Structure 1
Amino acid sequence: MFSIVAQANEWRAIDPSNAVLLTLPHGKVVIELAPQFSPNHVKQFTELARSGHYNNAKFYRVIDGFVAQGGPKDGSAVDKAVPLLAFEGEFSTDKNFEFTQVQTNDMFVEQTGFKDGFALGYDSKEQKAWMLHCPGVIAMARQTGADTATSHFYITIGQATRYLDRLMTVFGRVVYGMDNVQTIKRTAVIDGDIAVEENDYTSIISMQLMSDVPVKERINIEVAKTDTDDYRKKLHDRRIRENAFFFKKPPPVLDICQTPVQSRIVK
């Protein structure tokens, strides 16, 4: 299933050309993109970010425990000008596909695991894999048709919305500033509450490729490597939970979305 290769360095630096700096009124967010899994979505997203497409757009559909969705105003000239994207919610593999397995017989899929730090589902019979809707991932919104995504995106802010796996195209994940994502103004209210006015929606001040940000202003991030012996041991220990705190042992299983990959700032 996977190779065990000793690694002296347990961290990898995110390439600035593969990271996005999202600036909100209350703070900054860094998103690592996944062109190896969703190349066309990443390409369109980065081109739009570079063109200023997202600057001053708003998070207009923000539901507590679900997603924060943003983009230009529906039906606007900039919105209509964006080409449709073909679905990239899964990709084909071969029998030698390698990843760091986390769990078999997951509730939604045969196997889960990490590759390049991203949470994946994998079906060996279909020989297909896909990125999972764990908290903090960024995916492209779409209309009813599979191939109708354009530029509107969402970030998961609540529980893992795994029922959306293989239905939507995930193309990255938040590696810094998730607290700022969680502070985005909710636009959905319970029945009987006062509706949130559009003027109060959280705006996107800017969306930039990190490589386009002046060097002194960049947020340089490293993430834990997930293909090392050390990481596999951490997964094993988390699964077994031998710590004395667990006087009643939970089942030896791991929910991949409750197994976040660590990140750190590099000065």
Structure 2
Amino acid sequence: MKHLLLTAAAAVSLILPAFAEEPAAIPSPGEIVAAAPASDWVAIAPSDLLVMDLAPDAKGKARRVVIQLIPAPFSQGWIGNIRKLAAAHWWDGTSVNRVQDNYVAQWGDATEKKALPAGLEVVPESEYVTPTKGTGGTNRSVTQDGRPLVLSWSGRYPGWSWTDADDAYSTKRSFLAGWPFASTDGRIGWPVHCYGAVGVGRNMSPDTGSGAELYAVIGHAPRHLDRNIAVVGRVVSGIEHLSSLPRGTGALGFYEDAAERVAIRSIRVATELPAADQPRFEYLSTESDSFARYADARQNRRDPFFIKPAGGADICNIPVPVRPTPAK
């Protein structure tokens, strides 16, 4: 019996270290974001937030949509117009007048008769893309589970990097200052139409739209619109107030009955609101190691639920994390 006990104890001693050396669970993209240090987050200036308050819903609940405007140098002609329209309170009393399933929710003056503020810029089609600048470049690598995640920095524009993209709309992709961009040659780039992107409605070319008519993407990313319509922002909060609206029954999802339209009470740049009412958000720096690991995890899901990693992801399936921050 003593011999058997010693044999059993020896067997256990061989088994226990194997359990102790089991690899740690592989973090999901969400867990990587949650673990990102405060230093990897970048505050969004209130002056870059557009706050749209819709009429309350049928139960009297407030509906607020917050849009982050794209930073310079991208789409700045339209951004300037949007700031002028907001300062003039031009959108007050207009409406959401088009909701097309798996596509967009659009707002503006349904009558097309409301006078626009003076001084709006006519923006050329050339502004749909932005040339990169500068020369030279560097490479840096981030380690993930012992594997190098190499990010090639072109150096043509400060902070601009390109990696190969295998999709029908571009050959290169980039994340710059918290925004997704695409390119074919690495010499020019353009913001892409992902879910929640806000664009400028227009008529036939060469009309590029003033910025008075805007839409938000509420369906599968319509990348065919890239370089054909200006992307001027993205919804960072309240997209559900647009995506859940009844679909219009008219052509292209326009509401046929004026009573179906959702009234817009006001649209303001956040700095025009009382300090206590100003929304505050921050995004995960796309130049951070945390974002590199998050992007890799979005492309190669190794967390326990997934059976086979896809080995890649469309740029719109790597949404830049944005989160609210408490008032100071």
Identify the residue that residue 46 of structure 1 maps to in structure 2. 83
Q: For 1:136 and 1:260, how far apart are their aligned partners in 2?
A: 10
Change (3 A) 1:181 1:229: same
Say yes or no: does 1:109 pair with 2:170: yes
Residue type matched to 1:29 in 2? V
Query: Normalization by structure 1: what TM-score?
Result: 0.88
Is the deviation greater in 154-163 or in 21-30? 21-30
Q: For 2:312 and 2:230, how far apart are their aligned partners in 1?
A: 27
Q: For 1:116 and 1:51, how far apart are their aligned partners in 2?
A: 29
By how many angstroms is 1:100 displaced? 5.3
By how many angstroms is 1:50 displaced? 1.1
Q: For 1:198 and 1:103, how far apart are their aligned partners in 2?
A: 47
Residue type matched to 1:251 in 2? A
Q: For 1:227 and 1:260, how far apart are their aligned partners in 2?
A: 14
Whether the 8 Å contact between 2:301 and 2:310 is mirrored in structure 1 is no
Q: For 2:76 and 2:115, how far apart are their aligned partners in 1?
A: 22
Identify the residue that residue 173 of structure 1 maps to in structure 2. 234
Is the deviation greater in 211-220 or in 250-259? 250-259
Say yes or no: does 1:64 pair with 2:101: yes
Whether the 8 Å contact between 1:53 and 1:72 is mirrored in structure 2 is no
Q: For 2:222 and 2:170, how far apart are their aligned partners in 1?
A: 14
Q: For 1:40 and 1:136, how far apart are their aligned partners in 2?
A: 21
Q: For 2:219 and 2:177, how far apart are their aligned partners in 1?
A: 23
- Three-state SS of the structure 1 residue aligned to 2:264 is coil
Identify the residue that residue 216 of structure 2 maps to in structure 1. 155
Identify the residue that residue 9 of structure 1 maps to in structure 2. 39
- 1:57-96 aligned at under 5 Å gives the runs 57-79=94-116, 84-87=122-125, 88-94=127-133, 96=155
By how many angstroms is 1:205 displaced? 1.1
Say yes or no: does 1:31 pair with 2:46: no
Residue type matched to 1:205 in 2? R
Whether the 8 Å contact between 1:102 and 1:111 is mirrored in structure 2 is yes
Whether the 8 Å contact between 2:85 and 2:117 is mirrored in structure 1 is no
By how many angstroms is 1:77 displaced? 3.9
Query: Normalization by structure 2: what TM-score?
Result: 0.72
- Three-state SS of the structure 2 residue aligned to 1:78 is coil
Q: 1:242 aligns with which of 273, 278, 302?
A: 302
Say yes or no: does 1:251 pair with 2:251: no
Change (3 A) 1:206 1:102: farther
Whether the 8 Å contact between 1:102 and 1:114 is mirrored in structure 2 is no
- Which deviations, in whole Å up to 9, do the C-alpha atoms of 1:28-54 show, x marking residues without a partner? 111111141111111100110110111
Q: For 2:96 and 2:228, how far apart are their aligned partners in 1?
A: 22
By how many angstroms is 1:73 displaced? 3.2
Q: For 2:183 and 2:99, how far apart are their aligned partners in 1?
A: 30
Change (3 A) 1:52 1:185: farther
Change (3 A) 1:44 1:80: closer
Q: For 2:259 and 2:204, how far apart are their aligned partners in 1?
A: 28
- Which deviations, in whole Å up to 9, do the C-alpha atoms of 1:123-149 show, x marking residues without a partner? 335x11000010101111111113441
By how many angstroms is 1:189 displaced? 5.9
Residue type matched to 2:180 in 1? A
Whether the 8 Å contact between 1:103 and 1:253 is mirrored in structure 2 is no
Task: Give the length in aligned residue pairs.
Answer: 256
Is the deviation greater in 8-17 or in 210-219? 8-17
Segments of 5+ residues of structure 1 without an aligned counterpart are 1-6
- 1:179-218 aligned at under 5 Å gives the runs 179-188=240-249, 196-218=256-278
Residue type matched to 1:49 in 2? A
Percent of aligned pairs with the same amino acid: 27
Say yes or no: does 1:129 pair with 2:189: yes
Whether the 8 Å contact between 2:105 and 2:216 is mirrored in structure 1 is yes
Whether the 8 Å contact between 1:20 and 1:32 is mirrored in structure 2 is yes
By how many angstroms is 1:201 displaced? 0.7
By how many angstroms is 1:74 displaced? 4.2
Residue type matched to 1:215 in 2? A
Give the RMSD, CA atoms, in angstroms: 2.3
